[in-house]
């Protein structure tokens, strides 16, 4: 077996409960190094809940199922341990942390990953390079994290964080929403620069737009807390044309309803 | 402060201690003079005689004692805690040494060691223009840079101020805070000892901060320093005050009176970082008078103590005067920080801004008690009050008691009060980037305090962040 055939990230039969409500009901996926997967699905179908649960959000309880990254079982790990194990989640709605600058936060995060102090000048160089690549103004380094940032700016900063932490597996929850046309291109370029044959991407999106830049190997459709259909890149095009109704019908048909 | 978390970490591991070892150590007590416990006219007479004071001051003291005895205990803030103090069991006056020194070499070894451990001589060498160090009731060390002396700036301990500049002291002493103001102001006036006296001549800018450091060492000690700062027309000065005490099983009392007078066009900033042991009762009266176009700023950080009652006040009595009060209070387990701010607008076109931040952790309680008063003729005045409370843990408590007395229609008043919890969502955001929960919580708290911290000289900002880190250790969210 070559490296290529090994699984990078895998979760099996994930069930998630939040606020007494079952929101994800048995989802499985297996991602190999170098692959990009996309999850699409209507509002409220459980995409963010799944993402949060995978990252270890304490409010999203995994009532059943397993998660593996590079063969390590993540299920009993806290969010920070999962992060240090190489998992990353770009949030749909990133929160503001008043009084904490982007630079200070990123350096602290990087340090947590490396387990030692990040050399100041190395860090500055890294930050400067990545900010430039993502067309983020240098002034953002000293601004407070997401405090007063526009929707698009927040998304860019999420990708900046990913670029700096360089995870093995990145889940991107609607990173494309809120981006203008140019920003979509810049941010997509950033994602493509990060992506290589050793890491994986799971992209949650509503639109085909970003998939024109970040090309998925597989597309999955999530409805009512389940993956109801999987296919190649063309599935996204079909969804864009036809909406979700037909998938729903097909699924119901299969289930014999 | 940015980029400081790891720096603090490093400092901390070097420090490898908590309050008890860094500030809480005690010195063997072998004092030049240690009076009897309890308060009386005889004690007052004795203090005044030992200090060789002019008769008017002796009289002031006796008068204040009568006022103190006549006034009832405050019936607000925290009466239960106030009544815990055993006033009969307190030493109201302790004189550790016979003479004040102007060189650290002349300070008794055990006292010098104390201030060395607290980093005072080093701070003096690196960035201060003058220092007084008070130990129990008296200033044991005092020095000021020669160039500042040459400019006519006076910086002495209060006793020295009275001896050498009786005319100025007599003119201003007790004019901002009379003995009748409150029970603890009266207490301070009858047994006051030490504190700072500063006079800045017209047009002179004191370019480096002046600092006083207050240390309580003995058990059952009462420290009653008295500070008077006068900035003459168009002058500028920044004064910094720091305080600590060892950890004892019985309570000590710190009850200071601080009076500031900013004459026309003058500027005074008064910065306090106090970090009392958890059994100190800290009952302080601080008030400033700002004349025409003058500016007064209180920057007040309150950590430690069992109970703090402190409400820095600014009276804006001249047209165009400005006042700013920026404060942080940290209430940990079994602590009550009852702090706040008072602004009194008594002249037209005056402006004030109050920013109060509090952090309550475990069963700690932080109360904001504020007064904003605008007199009838103070037209065109502006007031803004912002209170921000952060709660850590389920049992933490914060209350806000704002009072507004606006007797003038042409004013602009803004008031905002917020209470927030260290939210699970914020913690998750930071931990999802690899920060441990403790680091994440500390980062959020430091961020919350940033508007305060960034107003401090760098050395103090680092120190404050480190103190907060100690307070945060082992917290359960
Ligand atoms: N913290 C929460 N508390 C209560 N309900 C929640 C919580 N998080 C998610 N839900 C519920 O779970 C369901 C799935 O929500 P989720 O955010 O996962 O959907 P989504 O697929 O990401 O939708 P969208 O495309 O709009 O982002 C919804 O009904 C939502 O209201
Ligand atoms: Mg979502």
* Shortest CA distance from B437: residue in chain A: A80
Would you say residue B392 lies in a domain? no
How many A from CA of A178 to the centre of ligand 2?
13
Same domain, B432 and B468: yes
Q: Does B75 touch chain A (CB under 8 A)?
A: no
pLDDT means over runs of 10, chain B (477 residues): 44 47 73 80 94 97 97 89 90 86 86 83 83 87 90 95 97 97 97 96 95 86 94 97 77 94 98 88 97 97 93 98 96 94 97 96 94 95 94 91 91 88 88 95 92 88 84 59
Please state, as a whole number, how many other Cβ atoms lie within 10 Å of the Cβ of residue B291.
Answer: 22
Q: Does B451 touch chain A (CB under 8 A)?
A: yes
Number of the ligand 1 atom closest to the C-alpha atom of A225: 14
Predicted local distance difference test score (pLDDT) of residue B15 = 36
- Is the pLDDT confidence value at A213 over 80? yes
Taking the centre of ligand 1 as the mean of its atom positions, its distance from the CA of residue A44, in whole angstroms, is: 5
Q: Is residue A47 in contact with ligand 1, taking CB distance under 6 Å?
A: yes
Residues A119-134: tens digit of each pLDDT: 888 899 999 999 999 9
Residues B110 and B20 both lie in one domain: no
Q: Which residues from B are below 8 Å from A100, CB to CB?
A: 443-444, 446-447, 450
Q: Are residues B235 and B220 in the same domain?
A: yes
Residue B2 to residue A101, Cβ atoms within 8 A: yes
Distance from CA of A29 to the nearest CA of B (A): 21
Number of domains in chain B: 2
Instruction: Choose the final residue of a domain: B275, B310, B345.
Output: B310
C-alpha distances in Å from residue A179, one per residue of A163, A176, A183, A202, A233 = 18, 6, 6, 19, 22
Q: Locate B203 and state its tokens.
A: 């047009």
Please tell me which of the candidates B434, B446, B447 has its beta carbon nearest to residue A80. Answer: B434
Pairing status of strand A9-18 against strand A61-69? antiparallel
> Is residue B402 included in any domain, yes or no?
no
Question: How far from the centroid of its chain's Cα atoms is residue B402's Cα?
Answer: 21
Q: How far apart are CA B240 and CA B250, in angstroms?
A: 28
CA-proximal residue: ligand 1, atom 4 (nearest):
A19
Q: How many residues are given for chain B?
A: 477
Q: How far apart are CA B229 and CA B259, in angstroms?
A: 6
Inspect the interface and report whether the beta carbons of B4 and A80 lie closer than 8 Å.
no
pLDDT digits (tens, 9 = 90+) for B440-467: 999 999 999 999 999 998 888 888 888 8
Q: What's residue B476's pLDDT? A: 40
Nearest ligand to the CA of A54 is 1
Instruction: Tell me which of B254, B277, B310 is where a domain ends.
Output: B310
- How far, in Å, is the centroid of ligand 2 from the Cα of B474? 35
- Does residue B431 fall inside a structural domain? yes
Which residue of A52, A54, A78, A80 to mutate against B (max B Cβ within 10 Å)?
A: A80
User: Which of B365, B390, B370, B402 is closest to B452 using CA atoms?
Assistant: B390
Q: Kindly state whether B447 is in contact with chain A, defined as any CB-CB distance less than 8 angstroms.
A: yes
The count of other CB atoms within 10 Å of the CB of residue B74 is: 15
From atom 19 of ligand 1, which residue's Cα is the shortest distance away?
Answer: A44
Nearest residue (by CA) to ligand 1, atom 7, is A18
Identify the nearest ligand to the CA of A40 by its number.
1
Residue of B nearest to A164 (CA): B433
Please tell me whether residues B21 and B39 are part of one structural domain.
no
* Cα of B328 to nearest chain A Cα, Å: 14
Same domain, B118 and B228: yes
The length of chain A in residues reads 257
pLDDT of the residue at B19 = 67
Write out residues 151-180 of A within 8 Å (CB-CB) of B. Answer: 161, 165
Answer with the one of B265, B287, B310 that is the final residue of a domain. Answer: B310
Would you say residue B126 lies in a domain?
Answer: yes
For range A226-240, the mean pLDDT:
92
Judged by its nearest atom, the ligand closest to the C-alpha of residue A91 is 2
With beta carbons under 8 A apart, name residues in chain B contacting A109.
430, 433-435
Same domain, B191 and B117: yes
- A78 shares contact with chain B (CB less than 8 Å): yes
Q: Is residue B384 part of a domain?
A: no
Q: Are A174 and A166 in contact (CB under 8 A)?
A: no
Find the mean pLDDT for residues A82-111: 96
B200 & B230 share domain: yes
Asked whether B203 and B235 are in contact (CB, 8 A), the reply is yes
The pocket of ion ligand 2, defined by CB under 5 A, consists of A 47-48, 92
Chain A residue numbers with beta carbons less than 8 Å from the beta carbon of B444 are: 97, 100
Q: Does B58 touch chain A (CB under 8 A)?
A: no
Domain ranges in chain A are 9-95+170-255
A251: closest CA of chain B, how far (Å): 35
Query: Measured at the alpha carbon of residue B313, what is the angle toward residues B310 and B319, in degrees to the nearest 5?
Result: 175
Q: Does B134 share its domain with B193?
A: yes
User: B94 lies in which domain range?
Assistant: 31-310
CB contact under 8 A, B450 and A112: no
Q: Do B432 and A95 touch (CB under 8 A)?
A: no
Q: Which residues pair with B303 in a beta bridge?
A: B275
Kindly determine whether residue A108 and residue B448, on different chains, have CB atoms separated by under 8 Å. no
On whether residue B338 sits in a domain, the answer given is: no
Among protein residues, the one with the nearest Cα to ligand 1's atom 12 is A23
Give B-chain residues touching A97 at CB under 8 angstroms.
Answer: 426, 429-430, 443-444, 447
Contacts of B451 in chain A (CB under 8 A): 99
CA atoms within 13 A on the CB side of B155: 30
Closest C-alpha to ligand 1, atom 28: A44
CB A52 less than 6 A from any atom of ligand 1: no
Q: Strand locations in B40-105, DSSP E?
A: 94-95
Instruction: Say if B391 falls within a structural domain.
Output: no
State whether residue A82 is helix, strand or coil: helix
The rounded distance, in Å, linking the Cα atoms of B307 and B330 is 11
- Give the residue from B428, B440, B455 with the most A CB atoms within 10 Å of its CB, the best one to mutate: B428
CB contact A60 to B (< 8 Å): no
Ligand 1 centre and the CA of A172: distance in Å? Answer: 16
CB B270 within 8 A of CB B298: yes
* Nearest C-alpha in B relative to A83: B434
Residues of A in contact with B430 (CB under 8 A): 97, 105, 109
**Which parts of B234-350 are beta strand (E)?**
236-244, 252-254, 257-262, 267-276, 280-290, 295-304, 307-310, 313-316, 322-331, 336-345
Which residue on chain A is closest to B451 by alpha carbon?
A99
Helix or strand run (H / E) with residue B195: none
Q: Are residues B140 and B167 in the same domain?
A: yes
Q: Are residues B16 and B116 in the same domain?
A: no
Residue in A22, A41, A47, A93 to alter for ligand 1 test, most ligand atoms within 8 A of Cβ: A47
Same domain, B5 and B91: no
Ligand 1 pocket residue status of A46, Cβ below 6 Å:
yes
Beta strand B295-304 with B322-331 is parallel
* Interval A39-54: pLDDT, tens: 999 999 999 999 999 9
A9-95+170-255, what's its fold? Rossmann fold (3.40.50)
pLDDT score of A76: 94
């Amino acid at each position: 077996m070559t490296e290529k055939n090994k699984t990078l990230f895998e979760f099996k039969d994930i069930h998630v409960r939040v606020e007494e409500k079952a929101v994800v009901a048995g989802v499985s996926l297996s991602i190999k190094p170098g692959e990009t997967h996309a999850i699409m699905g209507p509002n409220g179908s459980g995409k963010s809940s799944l993402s949060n649960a995978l990252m270890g959000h304490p409010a999203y309880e995994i009532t059943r199922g397993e998660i593996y990254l590079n063969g390590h079982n993540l299920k009993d790990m806290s969010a920070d341990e999962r992060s240090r194990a190489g998992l990353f989640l770009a949030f749909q709605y990133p929160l503001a942390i008043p009084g904490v600058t982007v630079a200070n936060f990123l350096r602290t995060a990087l340090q947590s990953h490396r387990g030692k102090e990040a050399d100041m000048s190395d860090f500055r160089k890294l930050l400067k390079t990545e900010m430039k690549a993502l067309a983020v103004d240098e002034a953002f380094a000293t601004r407070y994290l997401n405090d007063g940032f526009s929707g698009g700016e927040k998304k860019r900063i999420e990708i900046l964080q990913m670029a700096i932490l360089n995870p093995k597996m990145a889940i991107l929850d609607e990173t494309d929403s809120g981006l203008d046309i140019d920003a979509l291109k810049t941010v997509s370029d950033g994602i493509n620069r990060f992506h290589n044959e050793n890491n994986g991407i799971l992209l949650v999106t509503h639109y085909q737009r970003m998939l024109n830049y970040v090309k998925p190997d597989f597309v999955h459709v999530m409805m009512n807390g389940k993956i109801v259909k999987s296919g190649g890149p063309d599935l996204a095009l079909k969804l864009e044309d036809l909406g979700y109704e037909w998938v729903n019908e097909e699924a119901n048909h299969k289930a014999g309803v | 402060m940015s980029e400081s978390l790891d720096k603090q970490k490093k400092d901390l591991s070097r420090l490898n201690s908590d309050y008890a070892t860094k500030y809480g150590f005690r010195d063997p007590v072998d004092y030049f003079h240690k009076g009897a416990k309890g308060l009386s006219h005889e004690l007052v007479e004795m203090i005044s005689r030992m200090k060789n004071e002019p008769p008017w001051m002796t009289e002031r003291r006796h008068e204040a004692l009568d006022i103190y005895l006549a006034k009832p205990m405050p019936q607000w803030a925290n009466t239960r805690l106030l009544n815990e103090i055993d006033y009969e069991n307190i030493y109201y006056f302790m004189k550790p040494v016979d003479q004040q020194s102007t060189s650290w070499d002349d300070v008794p070894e055990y006292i010098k060691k104390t201030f060395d451990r607290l980093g005072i001589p080093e701070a003096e060498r690196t960035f201060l223009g003058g220092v007084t160090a008070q130990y129990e009731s008296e200033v044991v060390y005092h020095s000021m840079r020669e160039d500042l002396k040459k400019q006519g700036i006076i910086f002495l301990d209060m006793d020295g101020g009275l001896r050498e500049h009786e005319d100025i002291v007599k003119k201003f002493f007790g004019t901002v805070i009379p003995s009748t103001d409150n029970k603890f102001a009266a207490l301070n006036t009858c047994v006051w000892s030490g504190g700072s006296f500063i006079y800045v001549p017209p047009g002179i800018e004191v370019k480096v901060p002046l600092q006083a450091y207050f240390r309580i060492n003995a058990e059952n000690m009462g420290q009653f320093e008295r500070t008077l700062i006068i900035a003459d027309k168009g002058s500028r000065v920044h004064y910094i005050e720091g305080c600590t005490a060892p950890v004892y099983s019985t309570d000590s009392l710190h009850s200071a009176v601080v009076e500031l007078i900013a004459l026309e066009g003058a500027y005074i900033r008064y910065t306090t970082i106090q970090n009392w042991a958890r059994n100190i009762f800290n009952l302080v009266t601080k008030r400033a008078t700002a004349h025409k176009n003058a500016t007064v700023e209180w920057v007040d950080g309150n950590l430690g103590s069992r109970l703090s009652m402190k409400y820095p006040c600014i009276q804006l009595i001249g047209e165009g005067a400005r006042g700013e009060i920026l404060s942080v209070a940290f209430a940990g387990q079994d602590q009550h920080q009852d702090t706040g701010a008072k602004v009194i607008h008594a002249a037209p076109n005056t402006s004030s801004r109050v920013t109060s931040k509090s952090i309550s952790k475990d069963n700690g309680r932080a109360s904001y008690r504020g007064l904003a008063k605008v007199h009838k003729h103070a037209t065109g005045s502006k007031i803004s009050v912002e209170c921000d409370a952060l709660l850590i843990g389920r049992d933490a408590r914060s209350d806000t008691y704002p009072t507004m007395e606006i007797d003038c229609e042409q004013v602009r008043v803004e008031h905002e009060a917020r209470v927030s919890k260290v939210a699970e969502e914020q913690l998750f955001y930071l931990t999802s980037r690899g920060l441990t929960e403790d680091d994440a919580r500390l980062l959020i708290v430091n961020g919350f305090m940033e508007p305060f911290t960034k107003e401090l000289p760098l050395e103090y900002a680092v120190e404050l962040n480190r103190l907060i880190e100690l307070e945060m250790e082992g917290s359960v969210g």
